[in-house]
Amino acid sequence: MGLYIEALIRTDPERLWQRTQEPAQHQRWDLRFTEISHLPGPAGSAQRFRYATRVLPFLTVAGTGTSAGERHREDGERVSALRFASAEKLSPLSEGSGYWRYVPTADGIRFLTGYDYRTRWGRFGTVADRLVFRPLMGWATAWSFDRLRLWCERDISPARSLTHALAEVLARILVVAAALPFG
């Protein structure tokens, strides 16, 4: 059961491509990654990269990936495919693959992703993935796409989007706490 997320983003195709393909830009909006960097490799070979996610202030889980290819069509549609893996025992995923599609429409770019992965930790990992990790990855991907959309369409930085979201959550918690009877 793979994950599929899409968003309509009203922006210039080159701006969207840059903000999704350049590691320094990508790590700004994608909640799933704290850090993304290209790894050196022979000229002409597939681009390799390292990704990392800070799970706790003192705990980071990392992995590597390879761009499996890109396709640019005459109608402006683009596809970028990749493979990724993590050898770290703390990572719930062992390996996977996915793609990004950029489909021009009259209203903007239909930006979508599909990806899937294999878990580790045996039966426990399968259950934990189904109940916790996979829904969390779907939510994080969707929220990240929305942060990217706001950045491309309205120039609202991903950091500012995060601050606004956290402030709204805090305000809602305070309203609920204020409504609770004390005594």
- Is the pLDDT assigned to residue 42 strictly greater than 90? no
Looking at the structure of the chain, the number of domains it has is 1
- Is the pLDDT assigned to residue 9 strictly greater than 90? yes
Write the DSSP string, 85-108: E---TT-SEEEEEEEEEEEEETTE
CA-wise closest residue to 9 among 138, 71, 76, 102: 102
**What average pLDDT score do residues 23-32 get?**
92
pTM for the predicted model, two decimal places: 0.87
Helix (H, G, I), strand (E, B) or coil at 70: strand
81 in a domain, yes or no?
yes
Q: Give pLDDT tens digits for 130-145.
A: 999 999 999 999 999 9
32 in a domain, yes or no?
yes
30 in a domain, yes or no?
yes
β-strands 35-39, 108-119: how paired?
A: unpaired
Q: What is the CA radius of gyration of the chain?
A: 18
Q: Where in the sequence is the domain holding 125, given as residue range(s)?
A: 3-155
Q: Give pLDDT tens digits for 87-121.
A: 999 999 999 999 999 999 999 999 999 999 999 99
170 in a domain, yes or no?
no
pLDDT more than 90, % of the chain: 74
